[in-house]
Structure 1
Amino acid sequence: MLEGCKNARERWSGVHDLVDKWLQERQQLLVLYTDLVKQISEGGMPKSSKVHELCEIMVDYTSAGHFEIFEQLYREAEAFCDDKAIELSNRVLPMIQVSTDAILDFHEAFDDKDLSQMDQQTLSARLSVLGEQLADRFQHEDLLIETLHNAHQELIDI
């Protein structure tokens, strides 16, 4: 996607735009997740369509991370010859995969399900576990962004 960039400044700027858009999607995911948890904590059962929406945004967000963002961050670290960042990436990505598996499991379990017959405690417990996985994921993603992207900002003389 950013292969046509002529210099480090263009690459950094392009990656920065991708990351910004991706983090906006993360914010949407968090708002939807929080709304579902709040509704359950107040004794209500969310509509199946809201859980489906959460599943879809999580899968889209996760796919963008794995197939676009992480790849571009890695290429940026390579372009800046940042061996420490590349090494960190190689350590952190398997940790992120754990949450990817949890997201896909949640998606498979709840995406096309009618929640009207579901026990509220089951959904609440699964959302709680999912929330912990998302928190870990976001922490690892933020570390990658900081180390593989933000750390290079001063090197391009913006």
Structure 2
Amino acid sequence: MLENCRNARERWGGVSELIDRWLQARQQLLVQYCELSGEDDLSRTEELGASLVRLCELLVDYVSAGHFEVYEQLLQEARDFDDGGVELAEKLYPRIQQTTEVVLNFNDLVDGRALTEEQLRGLFDELSQLGEVLASRFELEDCLIENLHNAHAGKVTSA
């Protein structure tokens, strides 16, 4: 019994650390996004282009960590606790996937190339729409975290 308790803490404690790192990456992403979205002098094409490239790096890293690390762990936890979390994940995941496609399309628009002021203007229009998509994504992810991990935290602690 003690061994099962230790295993549960070790197993799901790691998920908490993974989620914490992921949410820190989200914060970095949001800081970069806010700095860019507040920009109004689009004549500084080289500097803004570099900032957009950095934003895209953060976006792709964040989305990748979600899909290939965090969601996998949350889904495994839902399977192990078998309390309806799998069904919720199956319902939310396609909506999250739609936001991933928007992120990847934005990344493709930037694609690390030198941008003209006119291209930047278009990207900044897209940036506004990206912000709305990210807000939606974060709500969905928070719902997953709340229902697939935080709901089990007490069970892991008491185990």
What residue is the counterpart of 2:62 in the other structure?
61
What residue is the counterpart of 1:110 in the other structure?
110
Contact 1:9–1:156 at 8 Å: present in 2 too?
yes
**What aligned pairs does 1:146-157 form with structure 2 within 5 A after superposition?**
146-157=146-157
Show CA shifts across 1:71-124 (max 9, x none): 000101112122x11100000000001110000000001122212343443122
Bigger fraction of residues in helix: 2
Offset of residue 134 of structure 1:
0.5
Q: CA RMSD in A?
A: 1.7
Offset of residue 48 of structure 1:
1.1
Offset of residue 52 of structure 1:
0.4
Letter in 2 for 1:43: D
Letter in 2 for 1:87: E
In 2, the alpha carbon distance for the partners of 1:68 and 1:119 equals 34
What residue is the counterpart of 1:3 in the other structure?
none
Quick one: percent identity of the two aligned structures?
Answer: 47
Q: How many residues align?
A: 151
**What aligned pairs does 1:1-158 form with structure 2 within 5 A after superposition?**
7-39=7-39, 42-44=40-42, 45=44, 47-82=48-83, 84-157=84-157
Q: TM-score, normalised by structure 2?
A: 0.88
Q: Which of structures 1 and 2 has the bigger CA Rg?
A: 2
Contact 1:99–1:133 at 8 Å: present in 2 too?
yes
Contact 1:8–1:79 at 8 Å: present in 2 too?
no
In 2, the alpha carbon distance for the partners of 1:49 and 1:119 equals 14
In 2, the alpha carbon distance for the partners of 1:149 and 1:117 equals 45
Secondary structure, in 3 states, of the residue corresponding to 1:14? helix
Query: What are structure 1's unaligned runs of at least 5 residues?
Result: 1-5
| Bigger mean CA offset, 68-77 vs 42-51 | 42-51
In 1, the alpha carbon distance for the partners of 2:99 and 2:13 equals 28
Contact 1:76–1:149 at 8 Å: present in 2 too?
yes
In 1, the alpha carbon distance for the partners of 2:111 and 2:48 equals 12
Offset of residue 30 of structure 1:
0.3
Contact 1:89–1:144 at 8 Å: present in 2 too?
yes
Offset of residue 43 of structure 1:
3.3
